[in-house]
Amino acid sequence: MSTGIGSNGQTKLIRVPKTAELIADQLRSRIVRGVLKKGDALPTEVELVKQFGVSRPTLREAFRILESESLIVVRRGSRGGVLVSSPETSVAARSFGLLLQMSGTTLADLYAARKVLEPAAVEMLTQRKAPADVVDLKSAAGALAVLVNDGVDDADFHEWSAATFAFHDLIMERSGNNTIALVGAVLREVTTRHMARAVTTSTDHAEIEKQFKATIRAFTKLTNLIESGDAAGAKEFWTTHMDRAGRNMLWGDLANETVIDLFV
């Protein structure tokens, strides 16, 4: 049952891909072409070993490659096996984060890029808004307001941040442009991993609470502008809001801090 993989000895110039990569390519091809859909189970290891005519360690190396791309998840146990999964944004965020990290990108640089994308998304969203979009935006803004107003005593800043980011994500999602939504999600995820630390190291609770309340007002105002269909006004308002929020968030050293410590 040889697929003719190991019998090539003539081509020396081209880099011969490792067998595990070839197996991973074949499996990935089945997945992305839709032959295998999300949730489907692949045959067992022994079955695949027979199908591809390779050994088990080689097949397992292929599994690790696809697993690192989050195209599959491997569960052990009686009902275990290999399941097809959907690629998560976290994978792209990780590889992109590595890229940012190795090139010494600062947080201010990263935020500046988001300041370009989000106002554009706001403009698009306003132009194509559906009633459901406005409802959901109000709901997301309301969720943050509930958290901040009710939870003053035992404030969970991580929870507040999560609600804030959810609103930002919603804007990108509903922009109507899938690419912008995905890029925004990736950049936002990289930002989040830094902000989680920044928010906890800050001790001025009153100041933080004040900023979050300003954020809630900004969310409300933006939602109103979107609802009224004022695309230019919404875009301009969001530009100034992100500019102001960025100055408050990226104080001092944090702005010039490079994207690091994401994967240590």
Partner DNA sequence: ACCAATTTGTACGTATGTATC
Partner DNA sequence: GGATACATACGTACAAATTGG
Asked if 44 is part of the footprint of DNA (rule: CB under 7 A), the reply reads yes
Distance CA 195, CA 262 (A): 11
CA atoms within 13 A on the CB side of 96: 16
Asked if 90 is part of the footprint of a copy of itself (rule: CB under 8 A), the reply reads yes
Which of helix, strand or coil describes residue 54?
coil
Report yes or no: 245 and 111 within 8 Å, Cβ to Cβ: no
Asked if 203 is part of the footprint of DNA (rule: CB under 7 A), the reply reads no
Q: Binder to DNA among 32, 35, 46, 232 (CB under 7 A)?
A: 46
Asked if 256 is part of the footprint of a copy of itself (rule: CB under 8 A), the reply reads no
Nearest Cα neighbor of 137 from 238, 226, 212, 209 is 226
Residues 64-103, mask of contacts with DNA (x by CB under 7 A): ----------xxxxxxxxx---------------------
How is residue 20 written in tokens? 């595990």
Distance CA 162, CA 158 (A): 6
Whose tokens are 């988001």? That residue is 114
Nearest Cα neighbor of 20 from 8, 28, 11 is 28
Asked if 138 is part of the footprint of a copy of itself (rule: CB under 8 A), the reply reads no
Residue 86 interacts, among a copy of itself, DNA, none and using kind-specific CB cut-offs from 5 to 8 Å, with: a copy of itself
How is residue 95 written in tokens? 């590889």
Distance CA 244, CA 258 (A): 21
**Which C-beta is closer to DNA: that of 78 or that of 179?**
78
Size of the site for a copy of itself (CB under 8 A): 68
Residues that bind DNA (CB under 7 A): 6, 8-9, 12, 16, 18-20, 44-46, 53-58, 60-61, 63, 74-82
Residues that bind a copy of itself (CB under 8 A): 1-3, 5-8, 11, 15, 18, 20-21, 25, 28-29, 32-33, 57, 60-62, 64-65, 67-71, 73, 85-92, 94-96, 98-106, 109-110, 112-113, 116-117, 120, 177-180, 182-183, 186-187, 260, 262-264
